[in-house]
Amino acid sequence: MDDFKRIIQLRNEGKTQEEIAQIIGVSRRSVIRYLKSGKIPKYSRPLKSNRSDPLVGFYDLVEEKLRLNCKISLHELYEYLSQRGYKGSERTLRRKTFTLRRELKNKEVYFQRELKPGEVMEGDFTEFNLPIGGKKTKIYLWVTSLPFSNTYFATPYQNCAFESFAEGSIHAFKEFGGIAKSYRLDNMSPVVSKILLGKDRIVTKRYSEFQNHYGFKQDFCNPGKGNEKGNIEANNKIIKNKIFSRISLNNLSFSTLAAFREFVWEMCREHNKEALVYDKFKSEALLPLPSSRFKCFRTEVVTVNKYSLVSLGKEGYQYSVPCQYIGVRVEARIYPEKVELVSDGEIICSHKRIEGERGLASILLEHIIDGLLKKPGAMKDWKYRSILFERPSWQLFYEKLKNSGGKDKEYLGCLKLMSKYGRDAVTLGMELMSSSNMPLSSHFLEQLVKEEIENIYEIDPITVDLNQYDDFLKGGKDGV
C-alpha cells in the first residue's frame, strides 16, 4: 500500500515511469500495472498446471514396486524408471509417491513368534559411557538371552572385538549350563565377512571355529531388522536402565572394570532367579557344553623392533618385550583385556590390552631398565620417559637426587632394585630417604629396603585360639 501511494505521488510530481521504478525499487512493468489499474495488483497461482504429469504411464509400475518393498530407495526407483523412459525429476517422483509410501509403510505387518524351549539364543552388543576409576569409559556390554524363559547374562568390555563377543558368549553359556540349538546375531563385522541373499552369510574364520566348537546353528538377522531379535533388543534397554538406576540410587562407583563386571553379573543372576524366569528356565532344553573351552584370543606374528617393541593391529598399539628378543619373531595372543607375547610356546610377558587413540604404548619398566643402565644418556630425551616417574614419590626422589649431585644412572640403579624387592618396598624406601638426610644412592636404598623387609619378617605372627570362637557361637562355656 505504501509503495502504491508513493508511485501516485511521484507521478503527480512529474516523474517518468523509469524514474519511479528506480526510486521505489520495483520493475517498470510493475509501475505500469499500478498506474493502469488504479489499484494494487494481486498475484494468484494458476489453479491448474499446464505441465504434463511425467509419471503418467508409470503409476501402476511404481505402485507394484512399492508394494513389494515400501522401503525401497527413491534414488534406485528413480534410476529404474529413467531407464524405462521416465522424464521427470527425482524430486517429482518423491512428491508424487509420498502418500502411497506412507500408507504402505504404516501397513507393514509383524508376526508374533512362537517361542520354544532351547530352540534359540540371541546376542548383541549395547554400548554406553560410565566412569571407571574416575575416568569416563566407553563400555561395550555383550548380552546373551534365551527368549523362551527370558533368561539373560551380560559381560562388560572396553571393545567390541571378536574376542569380547566370544568370551562374553562363553560366560553366558556357562551360566546357563548349556547352549540353544541356534544363535541369532546381527551382521557384525567380527562375525560376518559378507552378506549374501536371504540368510546366507560368509562368516569369519574365527567365528566358524567358534560355531563348530559349540555346535550351534547360524541364524543371522536381515540387515536393519532388529525386531527379528526383539528379546535381546528389549533386554538391552532394561539392563542399561537397571544399571544406571542402581548406580544413581546407591551412589555407586567402580574403581576397575572387573568390579563393574561383578556388579553386572550379580544383577543378571538376581533377574534369572525371579520365579517367572526361573520356572520357565527349568524347561529350557539346552544342549550340553563341550568338555573344553574355546580359546578367546586372536593371534598375530610380529617381529620385535630395535626399540624392543612390537606393533599390533591397525591402530599401531605398541607393547614392550624384554630386550633379548630384539629381532625375534614372536606370537601375540590378543585377549579381550590382555595381550600375551609368546616365543617358542612360552609366554615371555603379558600386558593389559590398550584401548584408546592410535599409537599408544604399554612399556614395562623391567623390559627397558637394563638397556637404559647401559645407555643412561638416552634417558633425557626418551619418548616414554614418563614411565620412569610412575609415582609422585619417584619424581620427588629423582629431583632430590639430582639436586645433591647424583646422576641419572644412579636413579636408574634405584629403579632396577624393584625387580628384586618389588615396587612397593622400593617406593617406601624412596619416600623414607626423601624425608630424611640420608645420602641418596642405590647402595643406601638397597640397604634400607633390606632392613625394612627383615624387620617385617622378624614380627611374630599372632596366635589365635579358635576354641574361643566356638565358645562365642555356642553362647559361652556356661551357655550364656
pLDDT digits (tens, 9 = 90+) for 444-458: 999 998 887 766 555
For 216, phi and psi rounded to 5 degrees? -90, 165
pLDDT cut 70: percent of the chain above it: 88
In Å, how far are 95, 145, 271, 384 from 390, measured between CA atoms?
Answer: 65, 43, 42, 11
Which H or E run contains 193? Answer: strand 192-195
Mean of the per-residue pLDDT values of the chain: 87
pLDDT digits (tens, 9 = 90+) for 387-411: 999 999 999 999 999 999 999 999 9
Q: Is a pLDDT exceeding 70 seen at residue 127?
A: yes
Whether residue 199 contacts residue 220, with contact meaning beta carbons closer than 8 Å, is answered with yes
pLDDT band at 286 (very low <50, low <70, confident <90, very high): very high
Q: What is the mean pLDDT of residues 231-251?
A: 92
Q: Is a pLDDT exceeding 60 seen at residue 46?
A: no
What pLDDT is recorded for position 459? 46
SS3 state of residue 389: helix
pLDDT cut 90: percent of the chain above it: 57
- Would you state the cell numbers that stand for residue 170, as one nine-digit string? 562363553
- Sign of the CA dihedral running 172, 205, 342, 384: negative
| Spatial CB neighbours of 303, under 8 Å, sequence gap ≥ 6 | 310, 327, 328, 329, 330
Cell 605372627 maps to which residue? Answer: 461
Which pairs from 76-83 meet CB under 8 Å and 24+ separation? none
Whether residue 168 contacts residue 157, with contact meaning beta carbons closer than 8 Å, is answered with yes
User: Any idea which of 63-77, 138-152, 155-169, 279-293 has the lowest mean pLDDT?
Assistant: 63-77
- Would you state the cell numbers that stand for residue 311, as one nine-digit string? 606393533
N- to C-terminal Cα separation, the chain: 107
What pLDDT is recorded for position 480? 46
CA atoms of 82 and 76, how far apart (whole Å) = 10
Whether residue 444 contacts residue 414, with contact meaning beta carbons closer than 8 Å, is answered with no
pTM, two decimals, is 0.66
Whether residue 319 contacts residue 309, with contact meaning beta carbons closer than 8 Å, is answered with yes
pLDDT digits (tens, 9 = 90+) for 293-343: 999 999 999 999 999 999 998 889 999 999 999 999 999 999 999 999 999
| Spatial CB neighbours of 462, under 8 Å, sequence gap ≥ 6 | none
pLDDT digits (tens, 9 = 90+) for 97-114: 888 888 777 665 555 666
DSSP per residue, 133-186:
TTEEEEEEEEEEEETTTTEEEEEEES--SHHHHHHHHHHHHHHHTSB-SEEEE-
pLDDT band at 364 (very low <50, low <70, confident <90, very high): very high
Q: Is a pLDDT exceeding 80 seen at residue 36?
A: no
Question: Does residue 254 or residue 68 have the better pLDDT?
Answer: 254
pLDDT digits (tens, 9 = 90+) for 191-200: 999 988 778 8
For 467, phi and psi rounded to 5 degrees? -65, -30
Cα–Cα–Cα angle for 387, 388, 392, rounded to 5 degrees: 90
| Spatial CB neighbours of 298, under 8 Å, sequence gap ≥ 6 | 161, 162, 163, 206, 333, 334
| Spatial CB neighbours of 223, under 8 Å, sequence gap ≥ 6 | 187, 195
Q: Is a pLDDT exceeding 80 seen at residue 188?
A: yes
CA atoms of 460 and 480, how far apart (whole Å) = 34
| Spatial CB neighbours of 471, under 8 Å, sequence gap ≥ 6 | 477
